[in-house]
Amino acid sequence: MFSHGQHNLRNEYISLTVDNLGRIDFTQPLLQRRSLWRVWMSLSKFQKNLIRLVILVVIVTVWLSISYSKSQPHKRKPVSFSGDTHSEEQPLQAPLREDPLHGESFDERSNQIGDTNLVEPNQLQEAAVNELENPGNEFFSGDTHSEEQPLQAPLREDPLHGESFDERSNQIGDMNLVEPNQLQEAAVNELENPGDIGSNSIKPIYFSKQTNARQRAVVDAFRHAWSAYKKYAWGQDMLKPLSKSAHKWFGLGLTIVDSLDTMWIMGLHDEFTEASGWVRDEFRPSLESSTADVNLFEATIRVLGGLLSAYHFSADDLFISKALDIGEALLPCFEKSPSGVPYSDVNLASHIPHAPRWSPDSSTAEVTTLQLEFRDLSRVTKLKKFEDASSRVSEIVHSLNKIDGLVPIYINPFSGKFKDNSEIKLGARGDSYYEYLLKQWIQTGKTKQFLIDDYLESVQGIQKHLVRRTPNRDLVFVGELGAGPREHKKFNPKMDHLVCFLPGTLALGYHHGMPESHMSLAHQLLDTCYYMYADQPTFLSPEIAYFNTEAGDIGSNSIKPIYFSKQTNARQRAVVDAFRHAWSAYKKYAWGQDMLKPLSKSAHKWFGLGLTIVDSLDTMWIMGLHDEFAEASGWVRDEFRPSLESSTADVNLFEATIRVLGGLLSAYHFSADDLFISKALDIGESIEKYCKTPSGYTAPKWETPSGYTSIGNVLDDRNVRPLDSMESFFLSETLKYLYLLLSDNRKLLDLDHYVLNSEAHPLPILSE
């Protein structure tokens, strides 16, 4: 799928010990002396605008004084502005928008202030149509804009609070080519129905098409997966690519809704139109016939987030309507909670929320990873109740006691309190709480101080309690505090793959004025996350990694090998032949597994520790079978990892949800360092090699596809154990991240104007 160099895989896995937190200095104060630029970046938009206004007033005052003194001798006649307040010398101009057909820019100013008379709407309409039919007139210019100084689209007002959205998801100049008649129709409709395109009068935002072969390869991967989903699972939540069937989870067409913005960004407008048709005709979460229990968190980040981002890009009111449907269906989780902390699940038919079947508690990460989406829903629907309900959760959590900003992973919706004896970690059930603290602060124009205060405290707590460094490879990882009373929580050197969200969050925070130490930690964690991939034979990371925290050299006793004499008679040689016969069959049919099933010529897994190999080592050595011993020793060296809990069902699982790609995207977006591209390519190639289902290798293009699948074992490149599951986030997250990372324009999606939710759906940043 991607063109890239060879991988330099390491046989050694991550082997760590604690050496008093290594070289990270956690004693320095959180907020250090910073440059003027970093101070500027930490200001809110209101503060920045106030400073700009003062400077502008001074400049205008000086300019007017000079102009007035020069004009006095000539006694110039005053100019009539027809009621406008802007000077003739410097008329206020609307921003230029690139013509998507010709790559030029045209002036949206149908009436330049102070320069033209007002005209009738029908004249504007006729002029717009003529303009599009006869390109090359005076409204077109050949100006181009560099990536470093993008032309910015206007702010649009937030309908709920009088604030303004930043429409600049994409800088002008990043539009797809569209047909002339589409441009004409859009222009006519806009002039005939001013303010009628979308409830907030927004316009579609188009992205440039693929600019290189690597991006086109990602688009081909998307089409391969999408075609398989259409053929075998259309309208269902997920595809099962091996059995070529569908998996129903919520009954909300997760793969369709979750993929909308990815299709739009990639310029796959035919596929987007097809998916939109399904949303229009079939997406009905409020139907009484629906009996599904849905998880509040998953439905919010995948479905609500997907619909909102599709609206912001396409300007189609259909998605507002459907977002409102799912928002109303999920709202009882908040409204019927005694404390305001939402229940984890809700039944779409009865509208009755409830805790998960296995516990009365909700996940802390889940209840604090809803606010970006519900706040945006309030903005586009003008219904304040969604933002109020979700923001109250953040306020409740803010008021609770924490361990240096770190939160237990469970919270009770009845009491509104943490389950204090639960674990503290940045993996499953804890991760996105920390991510959304920063992103909420950014989304709201940096106006909610308690959010950034909690974020800064939590990063300090992470550095103090959870960060460790290895003594041998000098890698930094983030561990966990185990279950138990606060004063007795023990450090556990376990790091979920999900923790790899943290480097991207830290890089984003640093861009917005957070301390330099945050970016340093981000780079170190990115290295560790990358090696979690590079150290595996498949170049794919397991879901869970345990780190060895014992220091010291192995084999420190300096003993010497003991050799045995070879076989001395035919009877011994017959025994050796019997061993070789059994060993050969085991190698052929059950290599790496616990035992061979000789009649069915298959393997039996008991502990997942390769029992036959380990149990036979001394026998091979005594018999003098040193070739077989060397082969078995190689497996022990590379694959025997009980400290990784390799006997656990999901520890070696790869579900193609690559949080590290989000970190690479943020780091590359703000630094322009091509090293991050190289790392993304390594991972992308491995996905193509091990996760693409077999028909993909033989079928022409994507005509008979069956998609991509999660795999059950990243530790054996000869037996990855495909799991028959293509998650919706493979299309919404993994391929979107790769596509954006591999663009020639690193700011194809400008992260100064969007925040990505936990499912990689872009939502606009609000200004004050």
pLDDT in tens, 296-310: 999 999 999 999 999
Same domain, 430 and 381: yes
Domain holding 523, by residue range, is 213-543+652-767
**Is residue 67 included in any domain, yes or no?**
no
Same domain, 188 and 248: no
Same domain, 470 and 379: yes
CATH number at residue 346: 1.50.10.10
The yes-or-no verdict on residue 344 having pLDDT over 50 is: yes
**Is residue 423 included in any domain, yes or no?**
yes
pLDDT in tens, 497-508: 999 999 999 999
**Which segments are annotated as binding site for Ca(2+)?**
758
Same domain, 185 and 238: no
Single out the residue in 159, 192, 225 at which a domain terminates: 192
Regarding predicted confidence, which is higher, 717 or 391? Answer: 391
Contact between 238 and 728 under an 8 Å Cβ cutoff? The reply is yes
pLDDT in tens, 370-388: 999 999 999 999 999 999 9
**Is residue 474 included in any domain, yes or no?**
yes
Q: Which of 32-41, 362-371, 451-460 shows the lowest mean pLDDT across its residues?
A: 32-41
**Is residue 217 included in any domain, yes or no?**
yes
Q: C-alpha angle 700/706/708, rounded to 5°?
A: 110
**Is residue 258 included in any domain, yes or no?**
yes
Same domain, 340 and 411: yes
Same domain, 130 and 180: yes
| pLDDT attached to residue 13 | 42
Same domain, 531 and 675: yes
- Report which of 262, 271, 270 is spatially closest to residue 229, judged by C-alpha positions: 271
Same domain, 329 and 279: yes
| Residue located via tokens 């033209």 | 116
Contact between 366 and 297 under an 8 Å Cβ cutoff? The reply is yes
**Is residue 562 included in any domain, yes or no?**
no
pLDDT in tens, 127-153: 433 443 443 333 223 333 333 333 333
**Is residue 602 included in any domain, yes or no?**
no
**Which segments are annotated as binding site?**
758
Average pLDDT over residues 685-703: 66
- Report which of 557, 424, 413 is spatially closest to residue 481, judged by C-alpha positions: 424
pLDDT in tens, 109-125: 333 333 333 344 344 34
**Residue-by-residue DSSP string for 42-62:** HS-HHHHHHHHHHHHHHHHHH
Question: 195-204, 457-466, 674-683: which has the highest mean pLDDT?
Answer: 457-466
pLDDT in tens, 467-484: 998 877 888 999 999 888
| pLDDT attached to residue 522 | 95
Contact between 286 and 325 under an 8 Å Cβ cutoff? The reply is yes
Average pLDDT over residues 432-451: 95
Same domain, 661 and 732: yes
The span from the CA of 578 to the CA of 567, in Å, is: 14
Number of domains, the chain: 2
CA 620 to chain centre: 49
The span from the CA of 275 to the CA of 256, in Å, is: 6
The yes-or-no verdict on residue 731 having pLDDT over 90 is: yes
Same domain, 220 and 141: no
Single out the residue in 133, 157, 192 at which a domain terminates: 192
Average pLDDT over residues 287-294: 66
Same domain, 760 and 676: yes
The span from the CA of 656 to the CA of 244, in Å, is: 19
The DSSP 8-state label assigned to residue 711 in this structure reads B
Exposed e or buried b per residue across 469-498, where buried means at least 16 C-beta atoms within 10 angstroms of its C-beta = bbbebebbbbbbbbbeeeeebeebbbbbbb
Q: The tokens of 586 are what?
A: 């085991």
**Is residue 631 included in any domain, yes or no?**
no
pLDDT in tens, 583-638: 999 999 999 888 999 998 888 876 677 889 988 988 988 898 888 998 998 888 87
Same domain, 121 and 224: no
